[in-house]
Every structure is written in structure tokens, then in C-alpha cells.
């Protein structure tokens, strides 16, 4: 990587790719890897669809609404393609991600303007698939036997720098848990851990390019396992130790964890590693043991609360976040009350909450005791009111404290930066405090639903969205 900037570009980019991303952080990461792979093949990234020769929709299948958006978007893009037909800049349209994996050929049947459909396990083949699509529609939704990461070049310094001082790094992918509501085991396949050396190489490339904070990604990131050079078995806690030893790394995070994989080495890492941020996203989904069983979660509400207690003992200032589903089949008023109760007991710093959405092919969709939509709506509103109170209280408790903030990007005015607190809150602060990439001490003087205000910063207008549903489009992993 050292000589990276001195090497001539293999090929001057002549064409442009526009990628629209839905879904979780892993889709965001995948989009960057696809963009990088295509750049090596002559496609420069663009942020305007009209400017593109290739449009990719990197899609999410988690809830019905997410999947439907793909088709409404495709309708609009088809019109753009029609205006470009017969010109010297024809438009190629691709669907990637979890809808691609789940629906495959069906996407081209429903929307004939689509030229290629590529699942999450084969996007390293994108450049050749794009070329082949010139002679007819292509579908590649194999669970590839080869490791896609072995085939993707490490990101280049310039590409990483364009994305800022924080970065995602997939270390684990797929899921063997088969919760009865969830499509992920079908769209992302079986649990796979990337090897230690491969992860360290990618982390070094990110750090070399100025990244200060790395968030490790996995659908079940704490199921990551590997071996070190001596053949010793490792868990995620050990991996965090290896990463923490890399010179230049300032902050580490990981998402999303499953309660069943919350091993001792990981809890101890929260106690022992300063650069591991005090934040744990640990979804429980529901508070009733009957519903947890029917969801096939493999843990009870007491198991969950005992993990939270152990984590808080190891790292008292840790912020807990989670995901909740309301209206799973068979959920009674009492079951929902148990969800409210586990939320009260956990006391979340942030939590995403969703109405149960029936997904084709999952056991939940076959269950006969589906909950009425109006009941789901009413329960979600009550839950979100409680979660919003908890989030506001968590943020308000920061007022008067001096906290470490990683400066990330420009704020709304020319004299502001936006940074990130250890607990993942956005912090607005004056530019006089430092430069992008610096970690600085900030005196918190005010708190809003989604952000903190540092001394000397101007009060920003209130955020327009609801804190607990802010990420309906970019869901948690």
C-alpha cells in the first residue's frame, strides 16, 4: 500500500457508476467494495444518477417495505434508460444485495429494464458480469465457492480517504440462527468468518489512509472465530486485541451481536481495551419468553438481562442499544407488556423498533395467529415513546461532562464540525477545537434527541425525524 499513490492508474476511468444503497451497514460496506472493484475496471463513482452509465441498486429484503422500494425505483430508472437508448451512452441497470439474492430471475421478469442481478456473495464478479450483460441479462446468485474477499483488491488510499476517518470492515457474514421472522439466513447464507490475516491487512490499509475508527461488521459479528499464527482458537474479543495493537488505530466498534454469542473474551475486551468504544448493540427483539421461543431466539429474557449486567460490570459507562419487533404472531397484550418491561430494565441509550413484517419463505409467515395491523401500530407507538424517553435521558445525562469526540465532518455552518462521541452520539462543536480526524475534549452544554452540543457551537435547528425510527431505511445489521 505504501507506493499506492505513486503507481499509475491501470486504466483512466471513462464510464461512471451510481450506486444507491438500502439496508444495513453491511450493504453500505458492500457498496464501497463494489464501487472500488468497478473503478479498477474503468468506472468512476458518481453521486448523480443522470450522470451514470451503470446504475446499481444495492437492496435490502428485511421488511416488505424495503423490498418494495426496489421496484418503484426501477420504474423511474427505466424511464432514464429509455431516454438514453440509441445514444452513445446507453444505461445499464443492476440489482445487487439481498433482494437480488432472494428474488433472482424474478426481478428481470417483473422489470425487463434490468440488465443484471448479482447476490451479496458474488459481487467480486461484477466487472465481468457487467461486460457480459451487453449481450443479454445476467443473473448470478450463487453462494460462490471462492472467497469473494480473496478476489477483491484492498481499497486504495485515495478511495478510503474520500470516505472519511471512520470505516466499516466486514469480519463475519451470514447467519445460522434462523430466527423465524428473518430472511437474513436465506439472503446472506451460512455463517462465515474471514481469516485473521485478511482482516488485519484490510485494517492496516484503512489506517494507512487515515482511518481512526473502524467498525467491525457481521450479521452475527460476535460469532466470529479464527486462529492465530500458533493455531490458537480465537473469538471476537481476541480479534479486537489484535486490531487494538495496530499502530494508528484510535477506536474500535463492532455490530451486530447475538446474545447467544456474547462470550467471556468479548466481555473482558470491554474491560481491558481503552480503544474499544463503550457501546454494545445487542438486539433482544421481544421481552416475553413465549415469543422469544416462538422466534427461535435461543435465549430467555433473563439470559439477556444477565448478559447486560455482566457487560455493565465489565464496563460501567457502556451504552446499550438494541432492536425490537412488535406484533410477532401470537403476541398478546401481556407479551407486549413484557417487551415494555425488558426495555425498562435494560434502559437503552438507543433502540430501533419495528412492526413485524411477514417475509415469504420464513416460518413466521406460516404462523396462523398473525397480529392485526392496527394493534401493531398502537404497540409500536407506545414502545417508541418509551424508547425516545430513554434516549433523551441518556443524552441529557451527558450535559456538563467533558467527553472525547472524534471530529468527522463539516457541520451545517462553516464554523462547525460534527463529531462522534464514544457512545455514538453526533456532537456539534466549533471548528476552533481541531481538525477532521482529531480526537478532542468537548464540554457538552446541551442535548437534543439525536445529538449533543459542545461549548461554543451554535444551536442547530431541531432534527426533523423521530429518533427511534430514524434508520428504517438503513436498518441495523
Residues that bind ligand F3S (CB under 6 A): 23-24, 26-27, 60-62, 97-98, 183-184, 187-188, 475
* Residue 325, binding choice from ligand SAH, ligand SF4, ligand F3S, none, Cβ under 5 to 8 Å by partner class: ligand SAH
CA within 13 Å, CB half, 330: 16
CA-based Rg of the chain, rounded to a whole angstrom?
23
Nearest CA to 327 out of 295, 304, 361, 351 is that of 295
Based on CB atoms, which residue is closest to ligand SF4, 18 or 354? 354
Question: How far from 151 is each of 124, 127, 434, CA to CA, in Å?
Answer: 6, 12, 39
Cα–Cα distance for residue pair 224/27, rounded to 1 Å: 19
Minimum CB separation of residue 388 from ligand SF4 in Å reads: 23
Minimum CB separation of residue 285 from ligand SF4 in Å reads: 7
Cα–Cα distance for residue pair 432/126, rounded to 1 Å: 44
Cα dihedral sign for 286, 291, 293, 296? Answer: negative
Nearest CA to 13 out of 31, 29, 37, 30 is that of 37
Minimum CB separation of residue 181 from ligand SAH in Å reads: 4
Task: At 466, list the grid cell.
Answer: 423521530
Q: Print the binding letters for residues 302-341 with ligand SAH: x by CB under 6 A, - otherwise.
A: ---------------------x-x----------------
Minimum CB separation of residue 40 from ligand SF4 in Å reads: 31
Nearest CA to 343 out of 361, 320, 363 is that of 320
Task: At 149, list the grid cell.
Answer: 474477499
Minimum CB separation of residue 307 from ligand SF4 in Å reads: 15
Q: Print the binding letters for residues 204-223 with ligand SAH: x by CB under 6 A, - otherwise.
A: ---------------xx---
Task: At 213, list the grid cell.
Answer: 475508527
- Give yes or no for a contact between 162 and 195, defined as CB atoms under 8 angstroms apart: no
Based on CB atoms, which residue is closest to ligand SF4, 218 or 419? 218
Minimum CB separation of residue 28 from ligand F3S in Å reads: 9
- Give yes or no for a contact between 1 and 205, defined as CB atoms under 8 angstroms apart: yes
Regarding 291 and contact with ligand SAH (CB under 6 A), the answer is: no
Nearest CA to 355 out of 375, 385, 341 is that of 375
Q: Residue with the closest Cβ to ligand F3S?
A: 23
Based on CB atoms, which residue is closest to ligand SAH, 115 or 323? 323
Cα 355–chain centre separation:
19
Regarding 67 and contact with ligand SAH (CB under 6 A), the answer is: no
Q: Print the binding letters for residues 252-281 with ligand SF4: x by CB under 6 A, - otherwise.
A: ------x-----------------------
* Residue 27, binding choice from ligand SAH, ligand SF4, ligand F3S, none, Cβ under 5 to 8 Å by partner class: ligand F3S
Footprint on this chain of ligand SAH (rule: CB under 6 A): 62-63, 181-182, 184, 219-220, 256, 258, 283, 285, 323, 325, 354, 356-357, 359, 475-477
Amino acid at each position: 500500500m505504501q507506493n499506492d499513490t505513486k503507481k499509475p492508474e491501470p486504466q483512466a476511468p471513462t464510464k461512471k457508476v451510481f450506486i444507491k444503497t438500502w439496508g444495513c451497514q453491511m450493504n453500505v460496506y458492500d457498496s464501497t467494495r463494489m464501487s472500488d472493484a468497478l473503478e479498477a475496471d474503468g468506472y468512476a463513482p458518481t453521486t448523480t444518477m443522470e450522470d451514470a452509465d451503470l446504475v446499481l441498486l444495492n437492496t435490502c429484503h428485511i421488511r416488505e417495505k424495503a423490498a418494495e422500494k426496489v421496484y418503484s425505483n426501477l420504474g423511474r430508472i427505466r424511464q432514464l434508460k429509455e431516454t438514453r437508448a440509441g445514444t452513445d451512452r446507453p444505461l445499464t441497470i443492476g440489482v445487487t444485495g439481498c433482494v437480488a439474492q432472494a428474488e433472482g430471475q424474478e426481478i428481470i421478469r417483473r422489470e425487463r429494464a434490468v440488465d443484471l442481478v448479482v447476490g451479496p456473495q458474488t459481487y467480486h464478479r461484477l466487472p465481468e458480469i457487467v461486460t457480459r450483460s451487453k449481450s443479454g441479462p445476467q443473473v448470478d446468485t450463487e453462494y460462490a465457492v471462492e472467497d469473494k474477499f480473496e478476489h477483491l483488491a484492498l481499497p486504495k488510499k485515495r478511495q478510503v480517504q474520500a470516505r472519511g476517518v471512520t470505516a466499516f470492515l466486514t469480519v463475519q457474514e451470514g447467519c445460522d440462527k434462523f430466527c423465524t421472522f428473518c430472511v437474513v439466513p436465506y439472503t446472506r447464507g451460512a455463517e462465515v468468518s474471514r481469516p485473521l490475516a485478511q482482516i488485519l491487512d484490510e485494517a492496516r490499509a484503512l489506517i494507512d489512509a487515515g482511518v481512526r475508527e473502524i467498525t467491525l461488521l457481521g450479521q452475527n459479528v460476535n460469532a466470529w472465530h479464527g486462529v492465530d499464527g500458533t493455531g490458537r482458537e480465537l473469538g471476537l474479543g481476541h480479534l479486537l486485541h489484535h486490531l487494538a495493537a495496530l499502530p494508528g488505530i484510535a477506536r474500535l466498534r463492532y455490530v451486530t451481536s447475538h446474545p447467544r454469542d456474547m462470550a467471556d473474551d468479548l466481555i473482558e475486551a470491554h474491560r481491558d481495551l481503552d480503544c474499544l468504544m463503550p457501546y454494545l448493540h445487542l438486539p433482544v427483539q421481544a421481552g416475553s419468553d413465549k415469543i422469544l421461543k416462538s422466534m427461535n431466539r435461543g435465549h430467555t429474557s433473563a439470559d439477556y438481562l444477565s448478559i447486560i449486567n455482566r457487560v455493565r460490570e465489565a464496563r460501567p459507562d457502556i451504552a446499550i442499544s438494541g432492536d425490537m419487533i412488535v406484533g410477532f404472531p401470537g403476541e398478546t397484550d401481556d407479551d407486549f407488556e413484557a417487551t415494555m418491561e425488558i426495555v425498562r430494565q435494560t434502559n437503552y441509550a438507543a433502540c430501533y423498533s419495528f412492526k413485524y413484517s411477514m417475509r415469504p419463505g420464513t416460518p413466521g409467515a406460516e404462523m396462523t395467529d398473525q397480529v392485526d395491523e392496527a394493534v401493531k401500530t398502537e404497540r409500536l407507538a407506545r414502545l417508541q415513546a418509551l424508547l425516545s424517553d430513554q434516549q433523551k435521558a441518556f443524552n441529557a445525562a451527558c450535559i456538563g461532562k467533558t467527553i472525547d469526540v472524534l471530529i468527522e465532518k463539516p457541520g451545517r455552518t462553516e464554523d462547525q464540525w460534527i463529531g462522534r462521541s464514544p457512545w455514538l452520539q453526533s456532537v456539534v462543536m466549533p471548528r476552533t477545537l481541531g481538525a477532521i480526524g482529531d480526537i478532542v475534549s468537548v464540554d457538552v452544554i446541551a442535548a437534543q434527541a439525536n445529538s449533543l452540543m459542545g461549548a461554543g457551537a451554535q444551536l442547530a435547528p431541531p432534527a426533523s425525524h423521530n429518533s427511534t425510527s430514524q434508520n428504517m431505511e438503513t436498518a441495523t445489521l
